[in-house]
A and B are shown apart, each in its own frame.
Chain A
Amino acid sequence: MRGSGDTLIALAVVFAPLSLLSFGGGNAVIADIAQQAITVQGWTSEREFADFFALSRAAPGPGSMLAALIGWKAAGVAGALVATLAFYLPSALLVFAAARLWGRWRGSSWHSAIERGIAPVAAGLFLGSGLVVLRASPGGPAVWVAAIVTTVALLRWPGMHPVPLLLAGAALFGILGAL
């Protein structure tokens, strides 16, 4: 843990701009994070980055805690905090400001027309993005079957908690992989 004040500043300087560049979600900038963390700043080795990426995928919560892990490796818990805040706060503030601005016009007829018009596109994006992930996944037919079974189960029993389905998916793929 070298000169930790400098490292903390470097973490903020690396992650804050990436927060504002990650159009389409946090995954959009993973390649940039890798380049910065491994090549430019030398915070992690390639192997450590791969470990952190896999770990952040396994963890609960939004997208990745990849920033937290890299910050932790570079400068301990303070580093983890700085990297996480730098990666999430700028985009959170931006969306908050946009929501505030938008909320000011609530009640006007064009405001509600826009909200009604946007809703089907957003629903389509949900379904479309699911399809994109499905088609890109390397797992083959098993992934399709698991996804369809889960869809049907959750539509049939809306109150059901998804975690048992996730565990079933994990067990099934673990067994298939071992065979």
Chain B
Amino acid sequence: MRGGKRYKQVMREPQETDAGRGIGEVPGLWAILIAFLRLGCTSFGGGTAAWLHREFVLRRRWLDDQTFLAALALNQALPGSNGVKQAVLIGNHLRGAPGAAVALFGLLAGPFVIVLAVAAVYAGLIQHKIVHDMLDGVAAAVIGLTFATGLRSGVYGAPGFVAWAIVAVTVLCIGVLGWPLIPVVLCLIPVSVGLAWAQGRRR
């Protein structure tokens, strides 16, 4: 209950967020490894970027929303699995090249071992209808995790009317109109950066 109340308060005062929440100390390599190993083994259902946000921004406070979102945007422009790239960017942000290497290894090692162990026992098990139904249920819940992450990171990491308008336009283009991602991003980012630049000069 207390968590919910705190969240509502912050919703009303978005500008206070990052300063108020405070980013903790920079973790050591060992701590980064353990955190990514744990996340790799527990993040079911895809949507790894949302899991990473929950673990490192929300729970551990190792980085703030704006850093996370900026990394995510850089990430989206390049090829490869989004979750893996985001892990590399978070590791690099925290501890440079060794941090990135540890994050990459930590995220992949657990699922690698698990998936081979299951395949070695019996891969055919997975084709039963009930397994597929249950996976659909997991995927539906992960969509919820993605929504919650998008809303919360938008509130904290992109405060102000202009930023929220950009969020809304992006959702409209990608989610409602179903326009392709890359041209939409290429059009919106210059507009959004221009507005952020103009706002920065006015301050």
Chain A interface (Cβ within 8 Å of chain B)? 19-26, 48, 50-52, 54-65, 68-69, 72, 77, 80, 84, 88, 90-92, 94-96, 98-100, 102-103, 109-110, 112-135, 137-139, 142-143, 146-151, 153-160, 162-163, 165-166, 168-174, 176-178
Q: Check if B136 sits within 8 Å of A55, measured CB to CB.
A: no
Instruction: Give 25 CB contacts A-B under 8 Å.
Output: A23-B79, A61-B114, A62-B107, A63-B83, A69-B115, A92-B80, A94-B78, A103-B92, A113-B193, A114-B196, A116-B193, A117-B194, A118-B192, A120-B158, A123-B153, A123-B157, A125-B174, A137-B139, A147-B144, A150-B148, A151-B144, A151-B147, A153-B144, A155-B151, A159-B59
Q: Check if B147 sits within 8 Å of A170, measured CB to CB.
A: no
The 3 closest A-B pairs by CB, nearest first: A150-B144, A91-B80, A124-B170
Q: Mark B148-161, 1 if CB is under 8 A from A, else 0.
A: 11111110011000
CB < 8 Å neighbour of A151 from B6, B78, B148, B173: B148
Instruction: Tally A-B pairs: CB < 8 A.
Output: 392
Task: Evaluate whether A155 and B152 lie within 8 angstroms (CB atoms) in the complex, with A56-B115, A112-B200 already known.
Answer: yes
Q: Mark B164-191, 1 if CB is under 8 A from A, else 0.
A: 1011111101111010011001001100
Between A125, A146, A170, the greatest number of chain B beta carbons within 10 A of the residue's beta carbon is seen for A125
Give the interface size class of chain B.
Answer: 35 or more
CB < 8 Å neighbour of B43 from A22, A60, A125, A173: A60
List of A residues within 8 angstroms of B189 by Cβ:
117-118, 121
Q: Check if B131 sits within 8 Å of A58, measured CB to CB.
A: yes
Task: Evaluate whether A124 and B166 lie within 8 angstroms (CB atoms) in the complex, with A20-B79, A99-B74, A130-B143 already known.
Answer: yes
Q: Check if B140 sits within 8 Å of A173, measured CB to CB.
A: yes
Closest A residue by C-beta to B49: A126
Task: Evaluate whether A123 and B150 lie within 8 angstroms (CB atoms) in the complex, with A95-B74, A95-B78, A163-B44 already known.
Answer: yes
CB distance from A143 to the nearest CB of B (A): 4
CB < 8 Å neighbour of B70 from A65, A92, A118: A118
Q: Which residues 82-124 of B sit at the A interface, judged by CB distance below 8 A?
A: 82-85, 87-89, 92-93, 97, 100, 104, 107-108, 110-112, 114-116, 118-119, 123-124
CB distance from A152 to the nearest CB of B (A): 8
Q: A117 to B54: give the CA distance in the assembly, Å.
A: 22
CB distance from B184 to the nearest CB of A (A): 9
Q: Check if B147 sits within 8 Å of A98, measured CB to CB.
A: no
Closest B residue by C-beta to A146: B140
Say if the beta carbon of B32 comes within 8 Å of chain A: no
Contacts A60-B41, A94-B78 supplied; 14 other A-B pairs, CB < 8 Å: A55-B119, A56-B115, A62-B107, A72-B119, A91-B79, A114-B196, A117-B193, A126-B49, A126-B153, A127-B147, A134-B143, A163-B44, A166-B142, A168-B141
Chain B interface (Cβ within 8 Å of chain A)? 3-4, 6-7, 40-46, 48-51, 54, 58-59, 65-67, 69-76, 78-85, 87-89, 92-93, 97, 100, 104, 107-108, 110-112, 114-116, 118-119, 123-124, 126-127, 129-154, 157-158, 163-164, 166-171, 173-176, 178, 181-182, 185, 188-189, 192-197, 199-200
Task: Evaluate whether A117 and B192 lie within 8 angstroms (CB atoms) in the complex, with A123-B167, A129-B174, A178-B130 already known.
Answer: yes
CB distance from A117 to the nearest CB of B (A): 3
Task: Evaluate whether A131 and B176 lie within 8 angstroms (CB atoms) in the complex, with A55-B119, A94-B79 already known.
Answer: yes
